[in-house]
Structure 1
Amino acid sequence: ATAYAGFLKQKSTLDSGETCVVLLTGNGLKDTNSAAKNIILPEKSINSLDEIS
Structure 2
Amino acid sequence: MMNRDFRGLPFTTVGVTYQQALAGYLTEGLGGTVTAADYPEGGAGRITRVG
> Normalized against structure 2, the TM-score is what?
0.23
Higher percent of residues as helix = 1
Relative contact order (C-alpha < 8 Å, sep 6+): which is higher? 1
